[in-house]
């Protein structure tokens, strides 16, 4: 998972490490050259006394020189600054040290379907953390770079994150969750998976087919309901989706069911009739959560659809299906930042148990190489 992007991020770390190692070697060579300079020839006593007298008279000038040295711009590029850093056993990372690797990383992020504004924010975060940073000769530059990568990636991916399990636990029952998105991205299967997920945590659920638009929708969700031994609330094709979800809530209240999981018709944000249906469901049922479902492999398309759906009918979070087939990772990195709403789950296969909570920290560890799982 995310293998392609992981390789590219690893390449960035190696590029910066190589650049700073070369810089350390240059500083060492300069220091050695300075130490190798010949000592001045000894002077006779008269000259020595004269030199001592001149030195005494020149004390103010020496003070001025010290002040001038102190006021030298600390840009890390001058010999004095390099010498001082070397004497402390440190190397200062300068902007020019990382510009080429950053450009390569930017291209890698864009090629991996990371949305442009998200890529720019990641790069800016890395630049802020690294430029001016020091590292000792006996420390790995990779550690410094890795920390900057982790901080920048996590700040972008973690936007809006909340604990889904805690929200379910603390909510008044029945809790109503509506699923939306375009056709064919796995909404219905995701509902079934989440029903199993909730069951494993002690919650009962009822399924509701608010997709009254598509032929065969009842049969598809009924198969999942039968496999999971769940109650399904459904109306005939062409019925009112809001009425279906409302009936499911009524059933849950009457039978002490904890969670209502409501499917809706696949739609585009530009489909006014279908968007009106979502608005009516909102008015009639007031769902506790609306989750947007799309495929991780859709990349930039998934990111733009998430933004468009959130603009048209506000979502609370997202579920990305087919994450196990996504070697790029651009959607997973971009959606939360673009919508301001978190990714909550990843679909990782066809089985009902193939769903995992989205953990930004774990994803970042995967990308920077700490977690191989």
Domain holding 96, by residue range, is 3-34+76-157
Residue 60 has pLDDT above 60, yes or no: no
> Who has greater pLDDT, 206 or 336?
206
What confidence score (pLDDT) does residue 318 get? 93
Over residues 32-45, the mean pLDDT reads 54
Q: Which of 47-61, 172-186, 207-221 tops mean pLDDT? A: 172-186
What confidence score (pLDDT) does residue 228 get? 95
Over residues 248-275, the mean pLDDT reads 84
CATH code of the domain in which 28 resides = 1.20.120.140
Over residues 57-82, the mean pLDDT reads 46
Same domain, 252 and 110: no
The C-alpha angle with vertex 206 and arms to 311 and 354, in degrees rounded to 5, equals 75
Lowest mean pLDDT among 53-62, 135-144, 291-300: 53-62
Q: How does residue 37 score in pLDDT terms, banded at 50, 70 and 90?
A: low
Domain presence at residue 373: no
Lowest mean pLDDT among 20-34, 38-52, 85-99, 299-313: 38-52
Q: How many CA atoms lie within 13 A of 338 on its CB side?
A: 27
CATH code of the domain in which 193 resides = 3.40.50.300
Mean pLDDT, all residues of the chain = 77
**Whole-number Cα distances in Å, 315 to 181, 249, 279, 282, 290:** 10, 20, 12, 11, 5
What confidence score (pLDDT) does residue 289 get? 94
Lowest mean pLDDT among 6-15, 32-41, 94-103, 140-149: 32-41
> Who has greater pLDDT, 296 or 206?
206
Same domain, 148 and 233: no
Residue 69 has pLDDT above 50, yes or no: no
Domain presence at residue 202: yes
Whole-number percent of the chain with pLDDT over 90: 27
Q: How many CA atoms lie within 13 A of 258 on its CB side?
A: 15
Same domain, 148 and 205: no
Same domain, 94 and 236: no
Lowest mean pLDDT among 136-150, 181-195, 311-325: 136-150
Closest residue by Cα to residue 1 from 353, 346, 350: 346
* Burial of 332 from C-beta contacts in 10 A (0-12 / 13-18 / 19+): buried
Over residues 150-154, the mean pLDDT reads 83
Residue 324: CB partners within 8 Å, gap ≥ 6?
1, 347, 348, 349, 354
Same domain, 91 and 191: no
What confidence score (pLDDT) does residue 23 get? 62
Domain presence at residue 223: yes
Over residues 133-141, the mean pLDDT reads 53
Q: Which of 27-41, 185-199, 276-290 tops mean pLDDT? A: 185-199
What confidence score (pLDDT) does residue 124 get? 87
Same domain, 210 and 269: yes
Domain presence at residue 39: no
| Among candidate residues 122, 157, 192, the one where a domain is terminated | 157
> Who has greater pLDDT, 303 or 175?
175
Residue 192 has pLDDT above 80, yes or no: yes
Domain presence at residue 185: yes
Question: In which residue are the tokens 């009924």 written?
Answer: 222
Number of domains forming the structure of the chain: 2
């Amino acid at each position: 998972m995310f293998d392609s992007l992981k390789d590219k991020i690893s390449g960035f770390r190696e590029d910066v490490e190589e650049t700073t190692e070369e810089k350390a070697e240059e500083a060492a060579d300069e220091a050695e050259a300075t130490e190798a300079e010949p000592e001045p020839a000894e002077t006779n006593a008269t000259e020595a006394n004269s030199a001592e007298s001149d030195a005494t008279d020149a004390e103010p000038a020496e003070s001025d020189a010290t002040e001038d040295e102190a006021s030298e711009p600390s840009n890390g590029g001058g010999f004095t600054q390099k010498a001082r850093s070397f004497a402390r056993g440190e190397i200062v990372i300068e902007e020019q040290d990382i510009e080429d690797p950053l450009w390569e990383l930017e291209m890698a992020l864009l090629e991996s379907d990371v949305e442009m504004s998200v890529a720019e924010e990641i790069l800016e975060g890395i630049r802020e953390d690294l430029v001016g940073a020091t590292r000792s000769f006996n420390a790995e530059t990779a550690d410094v770079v890795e920390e900057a990568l982790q901080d920048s990636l996590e700040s972008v991916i973690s936007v809006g994150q909340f604990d889904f399990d805690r929200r379910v636990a603390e909510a008044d029952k029945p809790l109503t969750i509506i699923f939306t998105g375009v056709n064919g991205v796995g909404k219905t299967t995701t509902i079934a998976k989440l029903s199993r997920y909730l069951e494993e945590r002690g919650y009962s659920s009822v399924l509701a087919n608010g997709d009254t638009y598509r032929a065969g929708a009842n049969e598809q969700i009924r198969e999942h309901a039968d496999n999971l031994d769940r109650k399904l609330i459904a109306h005939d094709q062409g019925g009112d989706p809001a009425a279906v979800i409302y009936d499911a809530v009524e059933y849950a209240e009457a039978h002490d069911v904890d969670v209502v999981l409501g499917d809706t018709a696949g739609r585009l944000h530009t489909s006014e009739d279908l968007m009106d249906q979502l608005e009516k469901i909102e008015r009639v049922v007031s769902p506790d959560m609306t989750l947007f479902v799309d495929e991780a492999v859709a990349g930039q398309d998934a990111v733009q659809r998430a933004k468009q759906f959130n603009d048209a009918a506000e979502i609370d979070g997202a579920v990305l299906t087919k994450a196990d087939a996504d070697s790029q990772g651009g959607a997973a990195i971009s959606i939360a930042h673009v919508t301001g709403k978190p990714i909550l789950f990843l679909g990782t296969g066809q089985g009902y148990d193939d769903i995992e909570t989205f953990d930004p920290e774990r994803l970042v560890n995967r990308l920077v190489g700490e977690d191989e799982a």
